Amino acid sequence: MRSGDTAGLCGFLVIDKPAGLTSHGCVAAARRAYGLRRVGHGGTLDPAVTGVLPLALGPATRLLPYLHGNKAYRGVVQLGLRSSSDDLEGEVLERCALPAIDSKAIEAALEQFRGLIQQIPPQVSAVHVEGERAYARARRGEVVELAARPVTIERLELLGWEPGSGRLELAVRCSAGTYIRSLARDLGDSLGCGGALASLRRSEALGFDLSTAVSLERLGEVPPPPLLDPLAALGHLARHQLSAAELLDWRCGRRIQGASTGDAPDDGAAPEATAAISVVTPEGQLAGIARRSPCGALQPRLVFDAAG
């Protein structure tokens, strides 16, 4: 950080991202605040979206593929229009009269979006189409055929409905890769009037929530906020604590034979983490990530503080 040694700095910082700033802008602010080049974010937020943006600093960037993948949001959907981006930031393509609907009709429409569904990403998205991002083609006025993808919506709750304005508020918990803009579009289509996302706030991502988030302004403090222990993000993984005898073998990248682990507390992890095991030192500090080999040994996949 600005007034100290950054050697060995490793951990997570959760930003409560404000509207109007890109995720890359938050990364740049963290780099300046901590005097560290190696900073990555977990899950891009559109500039208009606020809320939880986890940042990994130092070697913690290597842990991002192993984090819990599910996310949670609160969003407002505007019924009665369709837009080029499936939110109110894009060009309005069509306005439709609102049908006579009530909360029961909305609840019935929501039911089809719960669980495992097929979802088509927005035209303005980061999906690759023939080697190019879809949003780049959309900016040139192209309309591309995007394939539907499987996503899981674990929770979809109607929080409020305003018939006068045609706005409804939703709480959503979903798998990685789910587009809330697509959900708003498809919900509006199912109600026969079109819909677009009016506002969105992310409340959970990668195992972090708003309770651990700090404002962007706090990065201007000296010193900046302390980082979260990397182990705080790995609670969904099984864990093995090294003995003193095993520690040297681990730091040298050798297999740990006959190691036992606790069960993973829950599921919902990213695919890369489904068989991963967090490995800690005898003192309880993160030593790295392992996988169980066919013979039962722990095979190092990611070693912190490697010997040599």
Q: Do domains 11-66+210-231 and 235-303 have the same CATH topology?
A: no
Query: What is the structure's pLDDT at 261?
Result: 62
Decide: 193 and 80 in contact? Cβ < 8 Å. yes
Band of the pLDDT at 135, cuts 50, 70, 90? low
**CATH architecture entry for 235-303:** Roll (2.30)
Q: How far apart are CA 65 and CA 5, in angstroms?
A: 27
CB contact set of 68 (below 8 Å; sequence gap of 6+) = 206, 207, 233, 236, 268, 269, 270, 273
16, 46, 86, 87: the catalytic one is: 46
pLDDT in the model for residue 4: 46
H-run or E-run covering 249: helix 244-251
Domain 71-205 fold is Pseudouridine synthase (3.30.2350)
Residue 1 clears pLDDT 50, i.e. is over it: no
Q: What is the pLDDT of residue 126?
A: 66
User: Each residue of 51-107: pLDDT tens digit?
Assistant: 999 999 999 999 999 998 899 999 999 999 999 999 999 999 999 999 999 999 999
* Range list of β-strands (E), 64-113: 71-79, 81-83, 92-95
Please give the mean pLDDT across all residues of the chain: 89
CB atoms within 10 A of CB 138: 19
Q: Tell me: the pLDDT tens digits for 153-201?
A: 999 999 999 999 999 999 999 999 999 999 999 999 999 999 999 999 9
209-248 pLDDT, tens per residue?
999 999 999 999 999 999 999 998 898 999 999 999 999 9
Q: Give the pLDDT score at 134.
A: 62
Residue 308: predicted pLDDT: 61
Q: In the predicted model, is pLDDT for residue 110 greater than 80?
A: yes
Report the distance separating Cα 107 and Cα 76, nearest Å: 15
Decide: helix, strand or coil at residue 140: coil
Three-point CA angle 289, 272, 206, nearest 5°: 85
pLDDT, one tens digit per residue, over 116-130 is 999 999 876 666 665
∠227-231-236 over CA atoms, to 5°? 130
Model confidence band, residue 14 (pLDDT cutoffs 50, 70, 90) = very high
CA–CA dist 70, 244 (Å, integer): 35
Pairing mode of beta strands 115-119, 149-162: antiparallel
Tell me the backbone φ, ψ of residue 241, rounded to 5 degrees: -100, 125
Spatial neighbors of 137 by CB under 8 A, at least 6 apart, are 129, 144
Answer whether 0.85 is exceeded by the pTM: yes
Which CATH fold would you assign to the domain 11-66+210-231?
Pseudouridine synthase (3.30.2350)
* 263 is a catalytic site residue: no
Domain residue spans of the chain: 11-66+210-231, 71-205, 235-303
pLDDT of residue 232: 85
